[in-house]
Amino acid sequence: MSIETWIADRPEELTDLIVGQRWFGDKSRTRTGMRPSLMLEFAHDGNQYALLEAGFDFSESDPATYLVPILHRSDGQAVDALRDPSFLAWLAEGFAERRIIETDHAGGSRLVWSSGGELESPWWSRPPRMLEGEQSNTSVMYGREAILKLFRKLQPGVNPDSEIVSFLTDLHEFPHVPKFLGSISLGFDSERESIELAAVQGFVPNGGDSWRWLPDALRTGTSEDLTGLLTSIRLLGQRTGELHVALAASDGDPAFQPEVIDRAVVDAVEDRLGREVRVTASMLHRQGACSHAESESLASSLLGSVSHAESLLDTLQTRVHGDYHLGQVLRTGDDFVIIDFEGEPSRPMRERRQKSSPLKDVAGMLRSIDYAVATASHGDGVVDLGAWRDDAERAFLDGYLPVVRRDPKALVPREPDALAQALDVFMIEKALYEVRYELDNRPDWLDIPFGALRRIAAGD
């Protein structure tokens, strides 16, 4: 039985194979149909494989399309090909061959393996190992030299993770991101935008991400250790500033060209956050987290802070990380490497590539540090971690601000009061999102972002 026949005869088996995977991000939505499309069927190393696009329709929202590589076994069963070493080797060898394959996709299309910078040794010949635990994509490590990330949820356009890492490594030699090594895309004969299927980056030896490092260090450190941690936080602020300066150096590339924040942008920010403040305050009261009077008082104070978004006027919006937190920063000895510029896979690619004030990233990291402090505070330590959090916020900004202010472009407001007001806007935006997330998913964690909103409302 061919794979095409198996798909036609046993669609329920294909559906079960897909929706049971960790990377299937629409488990909570009501499915109304699945539309499989055969992109490519081929034989390799004695096995039959296929690349499928699986489109899902839902009753309450937009459809979604997933990339599903299939190994069709001799017993008639089909399994995820990413667990098969021969398929993983075939994927990587395409970069050595600079492979182009005409596909069965409607309208005329081809799979294209494109190489970026190359390591001295041929990473594609190294033994592959699929990494476990990833939620939205599938990553494969080749030896200790390269990581291939297969993007499971497909959208037209270049993925911002490839776009930004390539921009930083090839054009600006920013050393604190992985090296971009190449990508696999589906291109079309028509004017349809290509779809990026996978990207490869150099492996960065590391001691884990900073979300694992910081809470552990806070939980076990002495008073002297905690003081020393502030030096690392200051360096993280410096690296973040260097990232933002590099992202603002467009070299004429319109995708990275900084844009001045004008009145229209400010008005849009104030309108959007005003709605979010009201909705979130209402949710807090409705779900019993606070009284009606407190929710009203909180909303009034936060709306006053949001109205200070005009402090952003005449500063720049640029490409930013967009989902910046401790989990996106690898600890490399005493330094840091920043990873995963993909953004939220559930959001449209256009939205994930939007420009913003760099303070969006600053707020994201400061909120992540607050979560790390709260996580560590569940231990029996005697050190006042609330005071350490305040010191860490200052240390991060002490590392960040001198870097971005040396750049002649106005990446952030130069006056201290205007900077504090602008940063509060993005801290509110992030904490509002966190409150809604915790109310829906982890009510026991609600006090962390709710406490942040209270501090901002009180002017602390």
Domain ranges of the chain: 37-202, 210-458
Q: Collapsing DSSP states into helix, strand and coil, what is residue 12? A: helix
Classify each residue of 301-325 as buried b or exposed e, where b means 16 or more C-beta atoms within 10 Å of its C-beta. bbbebbebbbbbbebbbbbbbbbbb
Residue pair 214/160 in contact (Cβ under 8 Å)? The answer is no
What whole-number distance in Å separates Cα of residue 414 and Cα of residue 420?
Answer: 10
Residue pair 183/167 in contact (Cβ under 8 Å)? The answer is no
Closest listed residue to residue 412, CA positions, set 359, 354, 356: 359
Task: Enumerate helices (H) and strands (E) in the chain, giving the number of each.
Answer: 13, 15
What whole-number distance in Å separates Cα of residue 114 and Cα of residue 112?
Answer: 6
Residue pair 175/336 in contact (Cβ under 8 Å)? The answer is no
What whole-number distance in Å separates Cα of residue 102 and Cα of residue 100?
Answer: 7
* pLDDT tens digit sequence for 205-239: 999 999 999 999 999 888 899 999 999 999 999 99
Chain Cα centroid distance, residue 340: 5
Topology given in CATH for the domain delimited by 210-458: Aminoglycoside 3'-phosphotransferase; Chain: A, domain 2 (3.90.1200)
For the entire predicted model, the pTM comes to 0.91
Q: Which residues contact 365 (CB under 8 A, 6 or more apart)?
A: 236, 240, 324, 325, 326, 396
Give the count of beta carbons closer than 10 Å to the beta carbon of residue 428: 24
Q: Which regions of the chain are under pLDDT 70?
A: 1, 105-107, 117-120, 171-172, 378-383
The predicted pLDDT at position 382 comes to 45
Residue pair 458/450 in contact (Cβ under 8 Å)? The answer is no
For residue 112, CA distances in Å to 81, 157, 200, 217 come to: 19, 14, 14, 45
Classify each residue of 383-393 as buried b or exposed e, where b means 16 or more C-beta atoms within 10 Å of its C-beta. bebeebbeebb
- H or E, element range at 403: helix 385-406
DSSP state of 323: S
